[in-house]
Amino acid sequence: MVVAGIDVGSKMAKVVIMDGDRNILSYVMARTGTDHGKTSEEVLNEALEKAGLKREDLEKIVATGFGKISVPFADDEVTQVIAAGKGAYFVRPSARTVIEVGAEESRAISLDENGNVKDFALADKCAAGAGSFVDAMIRYLEVTPEEFGQLALKATRAIPMNAQCVVFAESEVVSLLHSNVPKAEISRAIHDAIADRVIAIARRLDIRDDVLLIGGLANDIGFIESMKRELGKDVYVPEDYPPELVPAIGAALSAVQGVR
Amino acid sequence: MGVKVRPFECWDDFKKYRMEYYRNYLEAKENGSIRWAGSAWAFDPVPAGLGEDVYPLTGEPYGATAAFFRDFSMRALETIERKGAARDLCGYMRNYWGSVAMDKYLLADGAEIEPFPKPDFNFTIHICCTHAKWYHYAAELEGGVPTYAVDISVGPGYLLNDKKIEYVVRQLEDAIQWMEKVTGREYDDELLIRAVENEARSMTLWSKICKLNQNTPAPMEEKSMFSFYVMTLLRRSDEKIVKLYEKLYKEVESRVKRGIGALTQEQFRFVTDNPPPWPFLKVYRYLEENYGAVSVGSIYTFGLGAAWLGMDEKGENWIWEPAPTPEEAGYEIHDRRSALWWTAMFNLKYRASWQHEYSHWIRKQETYQMVKDWKADAIIMHLNRGCELWNMSTLEVRDYLVRNGVSVATYEGNMADPREFDEARTFNVIDSFMQSLGIEKLT
Ligand code: SF4
Domain containing residue A8: CATH number? 3.30.420.40
Q: Does A117 touch chain B (CB under 8 A)?
A: yes
Domain contains A85: no
In chain B, residues with a C-beta closer than 8 Å to the C-beta of A116 are 436
In chain A, residues with a C-beta closer than 8 Å to the C-beta of B428 are 79-80, 122
State the pLDDT at residue A166.
66
* Res. B49 pLDDT band, cuts 50 70 90: very high
Mean pLDDT of A34-61: 91
Strands (E), B24-131: 34-38, 54-58, 105-106, 112-113, 121-126
* Residue among B131, B152, B356 whose CB has most ligand 1 atoms within 8 A, to mutate: B131
pLDDT at A129 over 70: no
CA torsion sign, B334 to B337 to B343 to B346? negative
pLDDT in tens, B139-182: 999 999 999 999 999 999 999 999 999 999 999 999 999 999 99
State the pLDDT at residue A134.
82
* Res. A105 pLDDT band, cuts 50 70 90: confident
State the pLDDT at residue A69.
77
pTM for the structure as a whole = 0.86
**Chain A, chain B: beta-carbon pairs less than 8 Å apart:** 39
Give the distance from residue A238's alpha carbon to the nearest chain B alpha carbon, in angstroms. Answer: 23
Q: Are residues A136 and A206 in the same domain?
A: yes
Q: Are residues A138 and A218 in the same domain?
A: yes
pLDDT at B2 over 90: no
Q: Which of B436, B437, B441 to mutate to test the interface with A (most CBs of A within 10 A)?
A: B436
In chain B, residues with a C-beta closer than 8 Å to the C-beta of A85 are 436
Q: Are residues A232 and A255 in the same domain?
A: no
- Lowest-pLDDT range of A10-14, A87-91, B397-401: A10-14
Element (H or E) spanning B328, and its range? helix B326-329
Q: Give the structural domain span for A197.
A: 93-237
pLDDT at A258 over 80: no
Q: Are residues A175 and A65 in the same domain?
A: no
Helix (H, G, I), strand (E, B) or coil at A82: helix
The Cα A163–Cα A197 span in angstroms is 11
Q: Are residues A202 and A101 in the same domain?
A: yes
State the pLDDT at residue A260.
60
Mean pLDDT of A92-115: 92
Mean pLDDT of B393-397: 89
Q: Are residues A117 and A69 in the same domain?
A: no
- Lowest-pLDDT range of A35-39, A251-255, B158-162: A35-39
Instruction: Verify whether the Cβ–Cβ distance A204 to B395 is below 8 Å.
Output: yes
Instruction: Verify whether the Cβ–Cβ distance B425 to A122 is below 8 Å.
Output: yes
Domain contains A137: yes
* B433 close to B409: Cβ distance less than 8 angstroms: yes
Please give the tally of structural domains in chain A: 2
CA of A205 relative to ligand 1 center, distance in Å:
28
Helix (H, G, I), strand (E, B) or coil at B137: helix
Q: Are residues A141 and A74 in the same domain?
A: no
pLDDT in tens, B284-296: 999 999 999 999 9
The domains of chain B, with CATH numbers, are 11-188 (3.40.50.11890), 193-436 (3.40.50.11900)
Q: Are residues A97 and A223 in the same domain?
A: yes
Could you say which of B395, B402, B435 has the minimum Cβ distance to residue A119?
A: B402
Residue whose CA is at the smallest distance from ligand 1 atom 7: B387
- B32-57 exposure pattern, b = at least 16 Cβ within 10 A, e = fewer: ebbbbbbbbbbbbbbbbbbeeebbbb
- Lowest-pLDDT range of A151-160, B304-313, B354-363, B371-380: A151-160
